[in-house]
């Protein structure tokens, strides 16, 4: 029998259902991997006691015949989701000592479906970053390494710990959040599947806010089917989030088990052929088109004319929302507090000491673009461009059912690279941000290895609330690419 930690979520569920292992045994096996790979720094908080307690309760439910969709499956949770009684840091010093007295809707849904929490994963501070290097708790190491090169690579970001934990087989699945690519880009860097659902599919309630019009929780796993299973458990209308869509949850897993894409029109946006993309990624993208064509899909060239403006527009919209959302961290009611001679100085000292460099930078950008005299030139302009980007997608989807693009312009880079100039780091998200701006679902599927042996992902983008078509296409791509790479450098 394969090791419990090698199994996918679907395989674990079958193993547990057949009583070949108990949820406690499954939890213990995965907790052992957390011990073994602690050096990756994928977790900010490990919760072994809670995991065993939840696993025990899961075994009891199963004995009573009450097994849920993810009964007994161990999961890691990005430390941006509030978890009752377990410290939640957002990887920031400013939330020091914060223990939420409530549970986020998404995690509550996962526990309701029987899943077991093993810990809270590392991330870029407040989910702002593409390398996991902005975490107050230090960077996460990607389990993958270049062939013959021992340098540490980044797992991508912001959900870097969640991606690394799945790639290192510490857990079969984890949660992330995606504002501009924070699920898809780390999935590509770590050779796993990462799904950003349609904005509104998963509740944002209890998720520490970064940019509220863009933030969306989603799953990581090693197969498309597993991400579908997790999405099914995570989604659903939540009256506590006014932007949560009042729609029923489709059978996502059934869609992922049906890779029949005969007749599906796959759009290839010509504007995604941009300078700076690695030649190998361009080649892989072309191979992806061929694979889907061979599976019966019909490739169609489409145009998304405002693609290149998505990134700079995002760097107005996201910081603007961030500067407003992060105004709540003032040192008065919770978290870090650095005294000052008056109230203003208390605010300034606390925020100056509590926020890291990238967070401070984005708060400043946001404050500037929202300040008197600049609002129209920047914020309003960016919102207009956002409307044009959404219109581009709408028009493209008249000609196709899904879009296929690269996920990221490069493979994982070395820790410390791209840190000199913020714009260089921002460019990592050039292929993921347009769909975020339009609120569309996107999925990164590992599709090949580069010459250094590092994984590369391809991205599929779907229509709003049509994750089923997206999952079918992703399953077809997964089947054709037959990615079998596994990180060995850790």
Partner 1 sequence: MSLDKDTVARIARLARLKVPDEELAPLAGELSGIFAWIEQLNEVDTKNVEPMSSVSDVTLPMRADKVTDGGVAAKVLANAPGGAVYIDPSDRNAGGFFTVPKVVE
Q: How many residues does the chain have?
A: 490
Query: Which residues touch 123 (CB under 8 Å, ≥6 apart)?
Result: 78, 79, 80, 90, 91, 132, 135, 157, 158, 159, 160, 161, 162, 182
Choice between 148 and 339, CB closer to partner 1: 339
In whole angstroms, give the CA distance from residue 161 to residue 39.
12
Strand order of the β-sheet with 216-221 is 43-46, 116-121, 74-78, 173-178, 216-221, 193-196, 442-449, 455-462, 402-406, 265-269, 298-302
CB of 471 to partner 1, least distance (A): 20
In 3-state terms, what secondary structure has residue 480?
A: helix
CB of 212 to partner 1, least distance (A): 9
**Site membership for partner 1, residue 353 (CB under 8 A):** yes
Q: Which x/- pattern, by CB under 8 A, does the window 158-197 give for partner 1?
A: ----------------------------------------
Query: Which residues touch 460 (CB under 8 Å, ≥6 apart)?
Result: 402, 403, 404, 442, 443, 445, 470, 473, 474, 477
Q: Where are the alpha helices (DSSP H) in 90-183?
A: 105-112, 160-167
Q: Which x/- pattern, by CB under 8 A, does the window 245-274 give for partner 1?
A: xx----------------------------
**Site membership for partner 1, residue 200 (CB under 8 A):** yes
Q: Which of 78, 120, 196, 418 is catalytic?
A: 78
CB of 101 to partner 1, least distance (A): 4
Within 123-152, the residues that bind partner 1 by CB under 8 A are: none
Q: In the set 38, 151, 380, 399, which binds partner 1 (CB under 8 A)?
A: 380
Task: Please give the sequence-ordered ranges of beta strands (E in DSSP) within 1-155, or none if there are none.
Answer: 43-46, 74-78, 116-121
Number of residues engaging partner 1 in binding (CB under 8 A): 61
In whole angstroms, give the CA distance from residue 45 to residue 118.
9
Q: Which x/- pattern, by CB under 8 A, does the window 70-89 give for partner 1?
A: --------------------
Active site residues: 78, 158, 182
Binding interface with partner 1 (CB under 8 A): 98-99, 101-102, 199-200, 213, 239, 242-243, 245-246, 306, 308-309, 312-313, 315-316, 323, 327, 330, 332-334, 337, 343-344, 346-349, 351-353, 355, 360-361, 363-365, 367-368, 371, 378, 380-388, 390, 421-423, 438-439, 464
């Amino acid at each position: 029998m394969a090791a419990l930690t090698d199994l996918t979520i679907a395989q674990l569920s079958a193993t547990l259902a057949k009583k070949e292992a108990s949820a406690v045994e499954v939890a213990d096996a995965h907790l052992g991997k957390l011990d073994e790979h602690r050096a990756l720094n994928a977790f900010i908080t490990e919760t072994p006691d809670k995991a065993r307690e939840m696993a025990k309760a899961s075994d009891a439910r199963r004995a009573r015949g009450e097994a849920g969709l993810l009964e007994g499956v161990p999961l890691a949770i990005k430390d941006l989701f509030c978890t009752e009684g377990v410290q939640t840091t957002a990887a920031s010093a400013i939330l020091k000592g914060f223990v939420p007295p409530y549970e986020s809707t998404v995690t509550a849904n996962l526990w309701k479906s029987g899943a077991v929490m093993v810990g809270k994963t590392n991330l870029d501070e407040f989910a702002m970053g593409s390398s996991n290097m902005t975490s107050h708790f230090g960077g996460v190491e990607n389990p993958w390494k270049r062939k013959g090169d021992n340098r540490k690579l980044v797992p991508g970001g912001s959900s870097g710990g969640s991606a690394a934990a799945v790639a290192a087989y510490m857990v079969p699945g984890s949660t992330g959040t995606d504002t501009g690519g924070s699920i898809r880009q780390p999935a590509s860097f770590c050779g796993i599947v990462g799904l950003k659902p349609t904005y509104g599919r998963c509740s944002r309630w209890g998720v520490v806010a970064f940019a509220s019009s863009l933030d969306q929780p989603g799953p990581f796993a090693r197969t498309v089917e597993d991400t579908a299973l997790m999405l099914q458990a995570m989604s659903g209308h939540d009256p506590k989030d006014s932007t949560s869509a009042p729609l029923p949850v489709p059978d996502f897993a059934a869609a992922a088990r049906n890779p029949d894409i005969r007749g599906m029109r796959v759009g290839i946006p010509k504007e995604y052929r941009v300078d700076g993309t690695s030649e190998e990624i361009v080649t892989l993208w072309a191979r992806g088109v061929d694979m889907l064509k061979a599976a019966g899909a019909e490739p169609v060239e489409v145009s998304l004319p405002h693609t290149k403006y998505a990134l700079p527009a995002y760097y107005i919209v996201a910081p603007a929302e961030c500067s407003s959302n992060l105004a709540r961290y003032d040192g008065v009611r919770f978290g870090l507090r650095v005294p000052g001679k008056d109230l203003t100085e208390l605010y300034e000292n606390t925020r100056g000491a509590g926020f890291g460099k990238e967070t401070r930078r984005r708060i400043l950008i946001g404050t500037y673009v929202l300040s008197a005299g600049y609002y129209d030139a920047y914020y309003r302009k960016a919102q207009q461009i956002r409307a044009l980007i959404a219109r581009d997608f709408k028009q493209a989807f008249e000609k196709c059912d899904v879009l296929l693009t690269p996920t990221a312009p490069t493979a994982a880079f070395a820790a410390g690279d791209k840190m000199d100039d913020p714009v260089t780091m921002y460019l990592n998200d050039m292929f993921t941000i347009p769909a975020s701006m339009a609120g569309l679902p996107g999925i990164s599927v590992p599709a090949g290895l580069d010459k250094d042996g590092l994984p590369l992902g391809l991205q599929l983008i779907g229509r709003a609330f049509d994750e089923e078509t997206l999952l079918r296409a992703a399953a077809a791509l997964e089947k054709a690419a037959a990615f079998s790479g596994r990180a060995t450098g850790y």
